[in-house]
Amino acid sequence: MGFKKKETKKGLNIHVRRFICYVVLILITFFCLFWFYILFINATRSHGEMTRGFTPFPSTHLLENWHNLLTESKLPIWNGLINSLIISTFTAALCTYFSTMTAYAIHAYNFKFKNAIFTFILMIMTIPSQVTALGFVQLVDTMHLDDTFIPLIVPSIAAPVTFFYMKQYMENSLPLSLIEAARIDGSGEFHTFNSIVVPLMKPAIAVQAIFSFVNSWNNYFTPALILHEREMKTLPILIAELRSADWLKFDMGQVYVMIAFSIFPVILVYLFLSKYIVQGVALGSIKE
């Protein structure tokens, strides 16, 4: 009888803990998604309606706000979208590929100063981008690369945070015996990396591609220093210009529509790659 009571009590405790976990997760999900809901609701409301206060229900001014954004703001919205897509896509591709390659070199090879190089890369993670901004702008100006996407794309090759994540993932999911077997079979180093390592790293690459894409997409600081021509600016810069408009001409409906418009590509990228997130995090954090 005592054993059965203990089993029953243990079962109840498990159910209670599971119930509490579900409640907490539901609350966290609600607070995470609530602000997106408010954003899309406000995108359907006019400036006058928003001055009267909050409402949880959508209005009927979405198309009107979009039309006003395209006609009255005179901002190159579509150019900004294309510019942001080009920069973010190439940044995510270069960042994940070369970070994976660097992590593979540290993980699979033994060479002099290996640990020192690894420590040096980690130390770079502690340097804020604002500290090097002045020198970076001077270098870009000296190389005559103002109003080009090159200074915004090429530096993404050196991404210490992405490298560190890839390195930790490899330690848990890429056995060195597999690499040695490929070498014994006559596989070249680049063939081994592209045909064996990259497919095994696909979950981690997908996760970091999302992070790199979103980080580049939302980046305002660096593009604002490099891009000056109106047709070359990205969406975050155009949103800032729209928000800094004359107060008499300021239209909150246009601002919310543009912010909602700029979020849609990020949502699509997330939905396309989200199936790898749980798999990538789980495999990258559990040792075999």
Q: What is residue 88's predicted lDDT score, i.e. its pLDDT? A: 92
pLDDT string in tens for the chain (288-residue length): 554 555 566 655 777 788 888 999 999 989 888 888 888 888 888 888 888 877 888 888 888 888 888 887 788 889 999 999 999 999 999 999 999 999 998 888 888 888 888 888 888 888 877 788 888 888 888 888 888 999 999 988 888 889 988 888 888 888 888 888 888 888 888 888 888 888 888 888 888 888 899 899 988 888 988 988 888 899 998 888 887 766 556 778 888 888 888 888 888 888 877 777 666 555 544 444
Shared domain for 48 and 151, answered yes or no, is no
Q: What is residue 277's predicted lDDT score, i.e. its pLDDT? A: 66
CATH number at residue 178: 1.10.3720.10
What does the alpha-carbon distance between residue 137 and residue 155 come to, in Å, rounded to a whole number?
13
Q: What is residue 284's predicted lDDT score, i.e. its pLDDT? A: 45
Q: Are 251 and 68 in contact (CB under 8 A)?
A: yes
* Cβ count near 142 (within 10 Å): 8
Last residue of a domain, one of 63, 86, 111: 63
Phi, psi of 44, rounded to the nearest 5 degrees: -95, 0
Shared domain for 101 and 45, answered yes or no, is no
Buried (b) or exposed (e) across 5-23, using 16+ Cβ within 10 A? Answer: eeeeeeeeeeeeeeeeeee
Shared domain for 146 and 243, answered yes or no, is yes
Cα 284 versus chain centre, distance: 18
Last residue of a domain, one of 30, 63, 96: 63
272: Cβ–Cβ under 8 A, 6 or more apart, which residues? none
CA atoms within 13 A on the CB side of 96: 25
Q: Are 230 and 76 in contact (CB under 8 A)?
A: yes
Last residue of a domain, one of 21, 41, 63: 63
Shared domain for 208 and 275, answered yes or no, is yes
Say how many residues make up the chain. Answer: 288
Shared domain for 163 and 204, answered yes or no, is yes
Containing structural domain, residue 269: 67-285
* Cβ count near 4 (within 10 Å): 8
Tally the domains of the chain.
Answer: 2
